[in-house]
Amino acid sequence: MLALPRFYRFEGAPLPRSATPVVYGLLGETDLPSLYGSIDPHEDFAEAFAIQVHTRLLDRPLRVDLYLGPAYIGGFRSCLDTGRCPEKTAFLESLLAAYSVR
Protein backbone atom coordinates (compact mmCIF):
# COMPACT_ATOMS: atom_id res chain seq x y z
CA MET A 1 0.00 0.00 0.00
CA LEU A 2 1.24 3.49 -0.86
CA ALA A 3 2.06 5.63 2.16
CA LEU A 4 0.64 9.11 1.80
CA PRO A 5 2.01 12.17 3.53
CA ARG A 6 0.20 13.35 6.63
CA PHE A 7 0.29 17.10 6.74
CA TYR A 8 0.38 18.94 10.05
CA ARG A 9 1.09 15.70 11.94
CA PHE A 10 4.72 14.70 12.04
CA GLU A 11 4.99 12.13 14.81
CA GLY A 12 4.15 8.69 13.49
CA ALA A 13 3.94 9.96 9.91
CA PRO A 14 4.24 7.08 7.43
CA LEU A 15 6.81 8.92 5.33
CA PRO A 16 10.10 9.43 7.12
CA ARG A 17 12.12 12.58 6.52
CA SER A 18 14.74 10.45 4.73
CA ALA A 19 12.17 9.73 1.98
CA THR A 20 11.87 13.42 1.08
CA PRO A 21 14.33 13.40 -1.87
CA VAL A 22 12.67 10.34 -3.41
CA VAL A 23 9.15 11.71 -2.87
CA TYR A 24 9.97 15.08 -4.45
CA GLY A 25 11.88 13.37 -7.26
CA LEU A 26 8.82 11.30 -8.11
CA LEU A 27 6.51 14.29 -7.70
CA GLY A 28 8.65 16.11 -10.27
CA GLU A 29 7.61 13.51 -12.84
CA THR A 30 3.88 14.15 -12.39
CA ASP A 31 1.40 16.84 -13.35
CA LEU A 32 0.73 17.63 -9.69
CA PRO A 33 1.54 21.19 -8.63
CA SER A 34 2.72 20.35 -5.09
CA LEU A 35 2.98 17.54 -2.58
CA TYR A 36 -0.11 18.82 -0.78
CA GLY A 37 -1.95 18.75 -4.10
CA SER A 38 -1.36 14.99 -4.25
CA ILE A 39 -3.92 14.36 -1.50
CA ASP A 40 -7.00 14.47 -3.72
CA PRO A 41 -8.41 16.22 -6.81
CA HIS A 42 -9.81 19.12 -4.76
CA GLU A 43 -6.43 19.90 -3.23
CA ASP A 44 -4.82 19.46 -6.66
CA PHE A 45 -7.07 22.22 -8.03
CA ALA A 46 -6.66 24.46 -4.95
CA GLU A 47 -2.86 24.17 -5.02
CA ALA A 48 -2.70 24.70 -8.79
CA PHE A 49 -4.91 27.79 -8.50
CA ALA A 50 -2.91 29.25 -5.61
CA ILE A 51 0.42 28.54 -7.29
CA GLN A 52 -0.83 30.04 -10.57
CA VAL A 53 -1.86 33.23 -8.78
CA HIS A 54 1.40 33.46 -6.85
CA THR A 55 3.56 32.56 -9.85
CA ARG A 56 1.89 34.48 -12.65
CA LEU A 57 0.08 37.38 -10.99
CA LEU A 58 2.41 38.03 -8.06
CA ASP A 59 5.65 36.85 -9.68
CA ARG A 60 6.47 34.61 -6.68
CA PRO A 61 7.43 31.19 -8.08
CA LEU A 62 7.24 28.08 -5.90
CA ARG A 63 10.51 26.32 -5.28
CA VAL A 64 11.38 23.65 -2.75
CA ASP A 65 15.11 23.26 -2.07
CA LEU A 66 16.26 20.09 -0.33
CA TYR A 67 19.35 19.99 1.88
CA LEU A 68 21.06 17.29 3.87
CA GLY A 69 22.88 19.37 6.43
CA PRO A 70 24.64 22.11 4.46
CA ALA A 71 24.68 20.09 1.21
CA TYR A 72 22.08 20.85 -1.48
CA ILE A 73 20.65 17.51 -2.65
CA GLY A 74 17.91 18.57 -5.04
CA GLY A 75 14.86 20.67 -5.57
CA PHE A 76 11.32 20.79 -6.83
CA ARG A 77 9.48 23.27 -9.01
CA SER A 78 5.76 23.16 -9.67
CA CYS A 79 4.42 21.66 -12.89
CA LEU A 80 3.02 25.13 -13.61
CA ASP A 81 6.56 26.51 -13.73
CA THR A 82 8.15 23.65 -15.64
CA GLY A 83 5.52 22.94 -18.30
CA ARG A 84 4.65 19.47 -16.97
CA CYS A 85 0.93 20.30 -16.81
CA PRO A 86 0.04 22.39 -19.88
CA GLU A 87 -3.68 21.57 -19.67
CA LYS A 88 -3.93 22.81 -16.08
CA THR A 89 -1.94 25.91 -16.94
CA ALA A 90 -4.18 26.72 -19.92
CA PHE A 91 -7.35 26.15 -17.89
CA LEU A 92 -6.17 28.35 -15.03
CA GLU A 93 -5.04 31.10 -17.39
CA SER A 94 -8.45 31.12 -19.07
CA LEU A 95 -10.25 31.04 -15.71
CA LEU A 96 -8.25 33.93 -14.31
CA ALA A 97 -8.61 35.89 -17.56
CA ALA A 98 -12.39 35.43 -17.50
CA TYR A 99 -12.62 36.92 -13.99
CA SER A 100 -9.91 39.56 -14.18
CA VAL A 101 -10.69 43.19 -13.52
CA ARG A 102 -10.04 45.24 -16.64
Q: What is the mean pLDDT, run by run of 10 residues, along the chain of 102 residues?
A: 59 74 91 91 96 91 88 92 94 91 60
CA atoms of 43 and 50, how far apart (whole Å): 10
CA atoms of 8 and 31, how far apart (whole Å): 24
Contact 36, 43 (CB under 8 A): yes
What is the pLDDT, as a whole number, of residue 17?
75
Domain chopping of the chain, boundaries? 17-98
What is the pLDDT, as a whole number, of residue 51?
95
Angle between helices 86-98 and 41-52 (to 10 degrees): 70
What is the pLDDT, as a whole number, of residue 4?
59
CA atoms of 57 and 86, how far apart (whole Å): 17
